Amino acid sequence: MEQYISLFFDFFNKTFNLLIPFIVSIALIIIFTYYLFGSIIIHYYMKLKFTKLFSLPQSLENEMKNFKNNKTKLIFHFKQIFKSKKSYNSIYIYSQNKLVNIKDESVTIDYIDERYSYKYFVSEKIELIGDNENKKEFIIIVNKYVENIYNIIVDIFEKEKTYSLEVVVYSKIKECLNELEKFDCIKMYKKENYLKNTLRFNIINARRIDLCSIYYINMKNEKIYKNDSHFFESLPENLLINLIYSNNAEIAFRRIYLSEQNFSKINV
């Protein structure tokens, strides 16, 4: 009997020793398969989860696609304030390599951005050109896929600093924006109203008096600032003015920024 038991254990030990490499190999294959295909499967499902979490509704995607199919247009309106003054006769748009002659009251061009296709707004350098080497460079901000309106004062102010002003006014009260357009410093210019509760307009070659008149709309002691000949003289020539109305129909926020691709606040 002991002999049979001994033979059984010998057989078991030999079989077990032979099975160990096989079991280890199977285990390694299972572990390798899990890490190889398991990580791929987990990554796939995680990707689906995040895609679903951050994806836009189909209707909104279609709306954005339609929006991006719109052409970007630059509409220049020309205005001469003083008929007796010399005036610029053309505009050069650098990135478009396009020279626009000032003949009519307005000109529209299709804007093509081959530099920053991923951006929704870009800064663009333009130059006003007159006779006898009278030239003046400005920066304008172009909002893509919409019509951009620029009011250009064509008078040549040889001894006076002038500005490129982008003015953005926000109010949830529609009457505030309507009242704002009645101010003399604004009503003569064309505006954009394609954003809800927002009024945007651009004045190129604006004078200091235009800058002050817009910035100090509805502010107490406005005349004191306007009469200060040194006020705003240190500011750069390309500016964004931002006015925001509060719920009580008063301007609660007014700021001036350096108008570039990244707006920098200017303390005034």
| pLDDT 10s digits, 31-68 | 666 666 666 666 666 666 656 655 556 655 555 566 57
d(CA 251, CA 41): 56
CA nearest to 254, candidates 223, 212, 221: 212
The total of other beta-carbon atoms located within 10 Å of residue 8's CB is 10
Global pTM reads 0.73
Q: Which two tokens stand for residue 170?
A: 């926000």
d(CA 66, CA 69): 5
d(CA 255, CA 238): 14
- Residue 139, pLDDT > 50, answer yes
The model's pLDDT over 79-111, given as tens digits with 9 standing for 90+, comes to: 998 887 789 999 999 999 999 988 878 999 999
Long-range CB contacts (< 8 A, 24+ apart) of 94-97? 94/124, 94/125, 94/126, 94/127, 95/124, 95/125
Q: Which two tokens stand for residue 260?
A: 């570039």
Q: Amino acid identity of 57?
A: P
d(CA 268, CA 228): 14
Buried b (16+ CB within 10 A) or exposed e, 132-157: eeeebebbbbbbbbbebbbbbbbbbb
